[in-house]
Structure 1
Amino acid sequence: MNRFAALIRPDGPTAAILIRLAVGAVFLAEGIQKFLFPGELAAGRFATIGIPAPGFFGPFAAVAETVCGALLLAGLLTRVAAVPMVVDMVLALALTKVPILWGGSADKPKADGFWDMAHEARTDWAMLLGLVFLLAVGPGRWSLDALLTRRASAREHRVEVP
Protein backbone atom coordinates (compact mmCIF):
# COMPACT_ATOMS: atom_id res chain seq x y z
CA MET A 1 0.00 0.00 0.00
CA ASN A 2 1.46 3.34 -0.99
CA ARG A 3 1.69 6.22 1.48
CA PHE A 4 -1.25 8.14 0.03
CA ALA A 5 -3.48 5.07 0.25
CA ALA A 6 -2.40 4.63 3.88
CA LEU A 7 -3.42 8.23 4.63
CA ILE A 8 -6.92 7.83 3.24
CA ARG A 9 -7.61 4.26 4.28
CA PRO A 10 -11.19 4.18 5.48
CA ASP A 11 -10.65 2.45 8.78
CA GLY A 12 -13.07 2.98 11.59
CA PRO A 13 -16.62 2.00 12.29
CA THR A 14 -19.50 3.22 10.18
CA ALA A 15 -20.59 5.31 13.17
CA ALA A 16 -17.41 7.43 12.79
CA ILE A 17 -19.57 9.57 10.52
CA LEU A 18 -21.22 10.97 13.65
CA ILE A 19 -17.90 12.28 15.01
CA ARG A 20 -16.89 13.53 11.55
CA LEU A 21 -20.15 15.43 11.13
CA ALA A 22 -20.00 16.99 14.59
CA VAL A 23 -16.35 18.04 14.41
CA GLY A 24 -16.48 19.07 10.75
CA ALA A 25 -19.65 21.15 11.18
CA VAL A 26 -18.22 23.07 14.13
CA PHE A 27 -14.96 23.85 12.32
CA LEU A 28 -16.75 24.84 9.12
CA ALA A 29 -19.14 27.14 10.99
CA GLU A 30 -16.36 28.70 13.08
CA GLY A 31 -14.19 29.24 10.01
CA ILE A 32 -17.01 30.97 8.12
CA GLN A 33 -17.79 33.13 11.15
CA LYS A 34 -14.16 34.24 11.30
CA PHE A 35 -14.65 35.64 7.78
CA LEU A 36 -18.00 37.22 8.63
CA PHE A 37 -16.95 38.75 11.97
CA PRO A 38 -13.16 39.25 11.84
CA GLY A 39 -13.14 41.93 14.55
CA GLU A 40 -14.81 39.66 17.09
CA LEU A 41 -13.58 36.20 16.06
CA ALA A 42 -10.44 36.48 13.94
CA ALA A 43 -7.86 39.29 13.71
CA GLY A 44 -9.56 41.43 16.36
CA ARG A 45 -9.79 38.62 18.89
CA PHE A 46 -6.31 37.39 18.05
CA ALA A 47 -4.93 40.87 18.75
CA THR A 48 -6.76 40.94 22.10
CA ILE A 49 -5.26 37.66 23.27
CA GLY A 50 -1.76 38.55 22.12
CA ILE A 51 -1.29 36.41 19.02
CA PRO A 52 1.44 37.99 16.89
CA ALA A 53 0.51 39.16 13.36
CA PRO A 54 -3.25 38.92 13.94
CA GLY A 55 -3.90 40.36 10.48
CA PHE A 56 -2.24 37.25 9.03
CA PHE A 57 -3.21 34.57 11.55
CA GLY A 58 -6.89 35.57 11.77
CA PRO A 59 -7.61 34.95 8.07
CA PHE A 60 -5.21 31.98 8.11
CA ALA A 61 -7.25 30.33 10.88
CA ALA A 62 -10.47 31.15 9.01
CA VAL A 63 -9.23 29.44 5.85
CA ALA A 64 -7.83 26.43 7.73
CA GLU A 65 -11.00 25.88 9.76
CA THR A 66 -13.28 26.32 6.74
CA VAL A 67 -11.30 24.02 4.44
CA CYS A 68 -10.52 21.37 7.04
CA GLY A 69 -14.08 21.48 8.37
CA ALA A 70 -15.45 20.85 4.86
CA LEU A 71 -12.95 18.01 4.32
CA LEU A 72 -13.92 16.41 7.63
CA LEU A 73 -17.63 16.68 6.80
CA ALA A 74 -17.05 14.96 3.47
CA GLY A 75 -14.64 12.41 4.87
CA LEU A 76 -12.04 13.42 2.30
CA LEU A 77 -8.40 13.32 3.41
CA THR A 78 -9.80 12.98 6.91
CA ARG A 79 -6.55 12.21 8.71
CA VAL A 80 -4.70 14.94 6.80
CA ALA A 81 -7.41 17.51 7.66
CA ALA A 82 -7.43 16.48 11.31
CA VAL A 83 -3.75 17.30 11.89
CA PRO A 84 -3.90 21.12 11.48
CA MET A 85 -7.12 21.17 13.49
CA VAL A 86 -5.38 19.34 16.37
CA VAL A 87 -2.76 22.09 16.31
CA ASP A 88 -5.58 24.68 16.22
CA MET A 89 -7.25 23.17 19.29
CA VAL A 90 -4.01 22.78 21.25
CA LEU A 91 -3.20 26.44 20.57
CA ALA A 92 -6.73 27.51 21.52
CA LEU A 93 -6.49 25.65 24.82
CA ALA A 94 -2.97 26.91 25.58
CA LEU A 95 -3.58 30.54 24.63
CA THR A 96 -7.14 31.13 25.81
CA LYS A 97 -8.09 28.50 28.39
CA VAL A 98 -4.97 27.66 30.41
CA PRO A 99 -4.43 31.35 31.38
CA ILE A 100 -7.79 31.21 33.17
CA LEU A 101 -6.18 28.90 35.74
CA TRP A 102 -3.98 31.81 36.84
CA GLY A 103 -6.52 34.57 37.12
CA GLY A 104 -8.23 35.15 33.83
CA SER A 105 -7.26 35.66 30.24
CA ALA A 106 -7.35 38.71 27.98
CA ASP A 107 -10.72 37.74 26.53
CA LYS A 108 -12.22 36.33 29.78
CA PRO A 109 -10.81 38.60 32.53
CA LYS A 110 -13.42 37.62 35.15
CA ALA A 111 -12.87 33.88 34.73
CA ASP A 112 -10.50 32.46 37.33
CA GLY A 113 -9.46 28.99 38.44
CA PHE A 114 -9.95 25.38 37.46
CA TRP A 115 -13.76 25.29 37.21
CA ASP A 116 -13.97 28.45 35.12
CA MET A 117 -11.25 27.05 32.88
CA ALA A 118 -13.02 23.69 32.62
CA HIS A 119 -16.25 25.44 31.69
CA GLU A 120 -14.61 27.61 29.03
CA ALA A 121 -12.57 24.70 27.60
CA ARG A 122 -15.40 22.17 27.22
CA THR A 123 -15.94 22.66 23.47
CA ASP A 124 -12.23 22.86 22.67
CA TRP A 125 -11.60 19.68 24.66
CA ALA A 126 -14.47 17.83 22.94
CA MET A 127 -13.21 18.95 19.53
CA LEU A 128 -9.66 17.86 20.33
CA LEU A 129 -10.83 14.41 21.45
CA GLY A 130 -13.02 14.06 18.35
CA LEU A 131 -10.02 14.86 16.16
CA VAL A 132 -7.80 12.38 17.99
CA PHE A 133 -10.52 9.77 17.51
CA LEU A 134 -10.59 10.42 13.75
CA LEU A 135 -6.80 10.25 13.56
CA ALA A 136 -6.80 6.95 15.44
CA VAL A 137 -9.67 5.12 13.75
CA GLY A 138 -10.16 6.89 10.44
CA PRO A 139 -13.19 8.31 8.65
CA GLY A 140 -15.32 5.18 8.53
CA ARG A 141 -17.11 3.49 5.64
CA TRP A 142 -19.42 6.42 4.85
CA SER A 143 -16.75 8.80 3.63
CA LEU A 144 -15.24 9.98 0.37
CA ASP A 145 -11.98 8.38 1.53
CA ALA A 146 -13.78 5.01 1.58
CA LEU A 147 -15.36 5.61 -1.83
CA LEU A 148 -12.00 6.51 -3.37
CA THR A 149 -10.37 3.46 -1.78
CA ARG A 150 -13.12 1.14 -3.10
CA ARG A 151 -12.81 2.59 -6.61
CA ALA A 152 -9.03 2.28 -6.60
CA SER A 153 -9.27 -1.29 -5.36
CA ALA A 154 -11.79 -2.16 -8.08
CA ARG A 155 -9.47 -0.72 -10.76
CA GLU A 156 -6.51 -2.72 -9.42
CA HIS A 157 -8.47 -5.97 -9.40
CA ARG A 158 -10.15 -5.49 -12.78
CA VAL A 159 -9.10 -8.24 -15.13
CA GLU A 160 -8.80 -7.29 -18.76
CA VAL A 161 -9.79 -9.99 -21.21
CA PRO A 162 -7.74 -10.02 -24.39
Structure 2
Amino acid sequence: ILVCRPEEVKRITGIVRSDCPPLQSCLSEDKNGMTHAIMEVVAGGIVQTASDIHRYVRCTLLNSTKSFDDVVKSAQDSLRWLCHKRFVEWNNDTKIYSTTPLGRASFGSSLNPEESLVVLDDLSRAREGFVLASDLHLVYLVTPINVEVEPDWELYYERFMQLSSLEQ
Protein backbone atom coordinates (compact mmCIF):
# COMPACT_ATOMS: atom_id res chain seq x y z
CA ILE A 1 0.00 0.00 0.00
CA LEU A 2 1.37 3.37 -1.04
CA VAL A 3 -0.20 6.56 0.24
CA CYS A 4 0.80 9.63 -1.76
CA ARG A 5 -0.48 12.21 -4.22
CA PRO A 6 -1.21 10.92 -7.73
CA GLU A 7 1.55 13.07 -9.26
CA GLU A 8 4.12 11.50 -6.89
CA VAL A 9 3.30 7.83 -7.62
CA LYS A 10 5.83 7.39 -10.44
CA ARG A 11 8.69 9.00 -8.53
CA ILE A 12 7.99 7.12 -5.29
CA THR A 13 7.60 3.72 -6.97
CA GLY A 14 10.92 4.37 -8.70
CA ILE A 15 12.56 5.00 -5.33
CA VAL A 16 10.98 1.90 -3.78
CA ARG A 17 12.09 -0.35 -6.67
CA SER A 18 15.61 1.03 -7.00
CA ASP A 19 18.64 -0.74 -5.59
CA CYS A 20 20.10 0.51 -2.34
CA PRO A 21 23.86 0.93 -2.05
CA PRO A 22 25.42 -1.54 0.38
CA LEU A 23 25.78 -0.37 3.96
CA GLN A 24 29.27 0.25 5.26
CA SER A 25 30.27 1.03 8.80
CA CYS A 26 32.01 4.36 9.33
CA LEU A 27 34.07 2.64 12.04
CA SER A 28 36.15 0.83 9.43
CA GLU A 29 37.35 3.90 7.54
CA ASP A 30 41.11 4.28 8.10
CA LYS A 31 40.89 3.55 11.84
CA ASN A 32 39.77 7.16 12.44
CA GLY A 33 36.12 6.19 12.75
CA MET A 34 36.82 3.62 15.45
CA THR A 35 39.21 5.95 17.28
CA HIS A 36 36.65 8.75 17.33
CA ALA A 37 33.88 6.36 18.43
CA ILE A 38 35.99 4.89 21.25
CA MET A 39 36.97 8.39 22.37
CA GLU A 40 33.30 9.43 22.46
CA VAL A 41 32.10 6.44 24.50
CA VAL A 42 34.97 6.63 27.01
CA ALA A 43 34.57 10.40 27.46
CA GLY A 44 30.80 10.01 27.65
CA GLY A 45 31.15 7.46 30.45
CA ILE A 46 29.54 4.63 28.46
CA VAL A 47 32.72 2.55 28.35
CA GLN A 48 35.13 2.21 31.26
CA THR A 49 36.39 -1.37 31.32
CA ALA A 50 37.63 -3.96 28.84
CA SER A 51 34.32 -5.83 29.08
CA ASP A 52 32.50 -2.57 28.30
CA ILE A 53 34.57 -2.33 25.11
CA HIS A 54 33.52 -5.84 24.10
CA ARG A 55 29.87 -5.09 24.82
CA TYR A 56 30.08 -1.83 22.85
CA VAL A 57 31.66 -3.31 19.72
CA ARG A 58 29.10 -6.15 19.69
CA CYS A 59 26.42 -3.50 19.07
CA THR A 60 28.07 -1.95 16.01
CA LEU A 61 27.31 -2.41 12.32
CA LEU A 62 30.99 -3.22 11.82
CA ASN A 63 30.57 -6.29 14.05
CA SER A 64 27.85 -7.61 11.76
CA THR A 65 30.06 -7.25 8.68
CA LYS A 66 33.45 -8.31 10.10
CA SER A 67 34.57 -10.92 12.58
CA PHE A 68 34.23 -10.02 16.26
CA ASP A 69 37.96 -10.60 16.81
CA ASP A 70 38.84 -8.11 14.06
CA VAL A 71 36.49 -5.51 15.50
CA VAL A 72 37.88 -5.99 19.03
CA LYS A 73 41.44 -5.71 17.67
CA SER A 74 40.52 -2.46 15.92
CA ALA A 75 39.00 -1.11 19.16
CA GLN A 76 42.08 -2.16 21.14
CA ASP A 77 44.38 -0.51 18.59
CA SER A 78 42.32 2.66 18.89
CA LEU A 79 42.51 2.56 22.69
CA ARG A 80 46.28 2.09 22.54
CA TRP A 81 46.60 5.08 20.22
CA LEU A 82 44.33 7.20 22.45
CA CYS A 83 46.41 6.24 25.51
CA HIS A 84 49.68 6.91 23.66
CA LYS A 85 48.47 10.36 22.56
CA ARG A 86 47.19 11.04 26.10
CA PHE A 87 43.48 11.35 25.35
CA VAL A 88 42.67 8.39 27.60
CA GLU A 89 44.36 6.81 30.63
CA TRP A 90 44.24 3.25 31.92
CA ASN A 91 44.30 2.82 35.69
CA ASN A 92 45.94 -0.51 36.56
CA ASP A 93 44.51 -0.49 40.09
CA THR A 94 40.87 0.08 39.18
CA LYS A 95 41.09 -1.44 35.66
CA ILE A 96 39.18 1.54 34.30
CA TYR A 97 39.71 3.80 31.29
CA SER A 98 39.22 7.52 31.91
CA THR A 99 39.69 10.65 29.85
CA THR A 100 42.48 13.14 30.39
CA PRO A 101 41.99 16.92 30.15
CA LEU A 102 42.96 16.64 26.46
CA GLY A 103 40.38 13.90 25.96
CA ARG A 104 37.68 15.94 27.68
CA ALA A 105 38.57 18.98 25.54
CA SER A 106 38.40 16.88 22.38
CA PHE A 107 35.06 15.41 23.43
CA GLY A 108 33.64 18.80 24.39
CA SER A 109 34.73 20.38 21.11
CA SER A 110 33.28 17.55 18.99
CA LEU A 111 36.56 17.37 17.10
CA ASN A 112 37.95 13.97 16.29
CA PRO A 113 41.22 13.12 18.06
CA GLU A 114 43.38 13.81 14.98
CA GLU A 115 41.86 17.28 14.55
CA SER A 116 42.26 17.91 18.28
CA LEU A 117 45.99 17.27 18.01
CA VAL A 118 46.26 19.82 15.19
CA VAL A 119 44.41 22.43 17.27
CA LEU A 120 46.56 21.62 20.32
CA ASP A 121 49.71 22.07 18.25
CA ASP A 122 48.47 25.42 16.92
CA LEU A 123 47.59 26.62 20.42
CA SER A 124 50.95 25.49 21.78
CA ARG A 125 52.79 27.40 19.06
CA ALA A 126 50.65 30.49 19.67
CA ARG A 127 51.35 30.31 23.40
CA GLU A 128 55.10 30.32 22.68
CA GLY A 129 54.64 33.65 20.90
CA PHE A 130 53.20 35.37 23.97
CA VAL A 131 55.68 37.42 25.98
CA LEU A 132 54.65 37.15 29.59
CA ALA A 133 57.62 39.08 31.01
CA SER A 134 55.32 42.06 31.65
CA ASP A 135 51.62 42.72 31.94
CA LEU A 136 51.54 44.35 28.52
CA HIS A 137 49.97 41.26 26.94
CA LEU A 138 46.90 41.89 29.11
CA VAL A 139 46.25 45.10 27.17
CA TYR A 140 45.90 43.02 24.03
CA LEU A 141 43.61 40.53 25.75
CA VAL A 142 41.21 43.16 27.09
CA THR A 143 41.15 45.43 24.05
CA PRO A 144 37.76 45.05 22.34
CA ILE A 145 38.04 44.31 18.65
CA ASN A 146 34.73 45.85 17.59
CA VAL A 147 35.25 49.39 18.95
CA GLU A 148 36.38 51.93 16.41
CA VAL A 149 38.78 54.30 18.17
CA GLU A 150 41.38 56.30 16.33
CA PRO A 151 44.47 56.43 18.55
CA ASP A 152 46.74 59.43 18.87
CA TRP A 153 49.56 57.95 16.79
CA GLU A 154 52.20 60.38 18.02
CA LEU A 155 51.44 59.54 21.65
CA TYR A 156 51.35 55.86 20.71
CA TYR A 157 54.79 56.13 19.08
CA GLU A 158 56.24 57.96 22.10
CA ARG A 159 54.95 55.31 24.50
CA PHE A 160 56.14 52.54 22.21
CA MET A 161 59.65 53.98 22.13
CA GLN A 162 59.71 54.08 25.95
CA LEU A 163 59.16 50.31 26.15
CA SER A 164 62.06 47.95 26.63
CA SER A 165 63.15 45.89 23.61
CA LEU A 166 61.51 42.81 25.13
CA GLU A 167 58.19 44.64 25.46
CA GLN A 168 58.41 46.06 21.94
Shorter-normalised TM range: under 0.3
Please identify which structure carries the higher strand content: 2
Length-normalised TM-score, structure 2: 0.21
Report which of the two structures shows the higher radius of gyration computed on alpha carbons: 2
Please identify which structure carries the higher helix content: 1
Length-normalised TM-score, structure 1: 0.22
